[in-house]
Amino acid sequence: MKPRLNQRLQFSLAYLLVAATVLLVLQAWLQAPRTVEIPMSRFLDLVRSDKIEKVALTERQIQGIAKPDALPAGPTGASDRLRQWLNQSAELRVFTVTRIPGVEEAPLVAELERHKIEFTGRIESTFVRDLVFGWIIPLGVMIAIWMVLMRRVGGGPTQALSFGRSKHKIFDRKELKTTFGDVAGVDEAKAELVEIVDFLKNPRKYQRLGGRIPKGVLLVGTPGTGKTLLARAVAGEADVPFFTLSGSEFVEMFVGVGAARVRDLFEQAKDKAPCIIFIDELDAIGKSRAGSTGFIGGHDEREQTLNQLLAEMDGFDSSKGVIIMAATNRPEVLDQALLRPGRFDRQVVVDKPDLRGREAILRLHARAVVLAPGIDLGVIAARTPGFAGADLANIVNEAALLAARKEKNAVEMSDFEEAIDRVVAGLEKKSRVLSEKERDIVAHHEMGHALVATSVPHADPVHKVTIIPRGVAALGMTYQLPTEERFLMTRSELEDRIAVLLGGRVAEELVYGEVSTGAHNDLERATELARLMVTKYGMSERVGLATYGERSSLFLKGSGIGGEREYSEATARTIDEEVRALLERTHDRVRGMLTTKKAVLVSAAQELKRTETLEGERLRRALAGESMTEGAR
């Protein structure tokens, strides 16, 4: 690090030297007094007219200061006015006179004495005074202000000006305590990365047979799946330094800064080899360059940074022990040059955990939490399908906070249940008071969902029903508990799922003879699922086996902007008709189910309205139409 410190010191000294020089020249120019050359005859006239303040006599020259308005001002420009504003002595005109050889000095001295003009035999020097008050003091103030500002901006007098320095964080071997034991639910991804760890520990094992470890490893997965944690675990297992930064930290408003930071990052990494460079959110600098050529030009700051990254990845040898890891949740927008062999030539998918993975993650995070006896993390894992590792960590933390708020000695199952409800549906809205009619509608709506879920053969069991408002718009919720992980769904299973979504709307129709706005989210999800069945899954006989969607151009790919529709108006009409027919058939089917169970629907809704939440045995009895006795309560 000594050469780098020397570079910083040289840069600082050069900066201060240039600033001092500029200040010196500027002040000398602004504060230099105006000097006028006048003839001897004019000088004698001024003496006789008492318009001289002071003179200095030398053998060859007379220098003096005339009274205001004694000499003609002449043309003045902006620089003269600025000098006069900065220098109050500019009102006294300074003049010089060249002595005439052979003229005796005694008569001139007598003339000066007669008019009482102060005179001396030498010209007074103001160099020291001007140097101290005009240059040294302002320069010292400027340096002091500069140092204070630089420390505030960048933590040091040189750091803020080093725009080309990488903003990475580096963790050495002592600071990295994360290992594969701290990562759960991504067993396949860990197995893929074991080879990287082994190479960093035993590089000769792979080089012996001429093998070459991949230069770059790209971690692909949805947000919260643990990509950054997995990268830190690789560095911790390999016991090597870990360079980490976000892709957005490369890019600044100044063109070329990002490229300089890439060069600086790789230079430091080579000095620390073996090590791992981890770039989070790679898509911030690695987006495809194909769509940028149609605008002002593709050579913006982001593109130059990407070009430099590609060049650096080509220019270093992975046998030296520098491994590049990156993470993104949008691999489809990355430039193809990044993904070719020799750069990020290995992609590791970090997917959301399955049931066993979620349970393992919960156990991992629950190690730091005091759990009450009888806590079943398997039930919590079953209640959280589709949750990522970060979501599960949040649930454990929320449960601990809720238990502490209630002054409990341990976290109970009810705390986990409430934490899941908070994450899924939002905070409980105690301030949102529903009218009696609204509570009645919501109770029948939610029990309609629950009754249909118990009536169709392929629906997940109902775990809890509540009419407590949560979040922004949820006035009630029906929670289903999957019994197993599902990766494929049949047509009948999808139709049953649509039936459960329509159960609340149909319940309102049967009980009140009219509908409310409470089913808008259910209808949206049901329509989306029905359209997928028709256009993507090939489950419509009229539409056939072809899939239909929007064709995205190269520019629109990954941008979130809809592309051109790739089918005709006639096909679009057929798709709309099939989606509507599927929804209407399912609606009629659900109406038939609930018509036969209308009495159960009404009684269960009244019980839900009374207790606000039904779960467990009480929910089972309510859905079975059994009467609620005091003992059951």
- CA–CA separation, 273 vs 200, rounded Å? 10
Quote the DSSP letter at residue 287.
B
Backbone angles phi, psi at 282, to 5 degrees: -60, -30
Report the candidate in 327, 395, 385 with the shortest Cα–Cα distance to residue 364.
395
Question: Would you tell me how many other CB atoms lie within 10 Å of the CB of residue 101?
Answer: 7
Report the candidate in 256, 287, 355, 374 with the shortest Cα–Cα distance to residue 558.
287
With residue 543 as reference, give the H or E element that holds it: none
- CA–CA separation, 253 vs 163, rounded Å? 11
Q: Which positions ≥6 away from 530 have C-beta within 8 Å?
A: 498, 579, 582, 583
- CA–CA separation, 514 vs 523, rounded Å? 16
Contact 55, 112 (CB under 8 A): yes
Which string of DSSP letters, residue by residue, matches 51-108? -EEEEEE-SSEEEEEEPTTSS------HHHHHHHHH-GGGGSEEEEEEPPTT--SHHH
Contact 601, 510 (CB under 8 A): yes
Q: Is 371 helix (H, G, I), strand (E, B) or coil?
A: strand
Residues in the chain: 633
Q: Which two tokens stand for residue 108?
A: 């001139």
Q: Which two tokens stand for residue 10?
A: 């040289």
Q: Which positions ≥6 away from 471 have C-beta within 8 Å?
A: 425, 426, 427, 429
Known active-site residue 446: yes
Q: Which positions ≥6 away from 482 have C-beta within 8 Å?
A: 382, 385, 460
Catalytic residue among 446, 495, 508, 578: 446
Contact 579, 530 (CB under 8 A): yes
Q: Which residues are catalytic?
A: 446
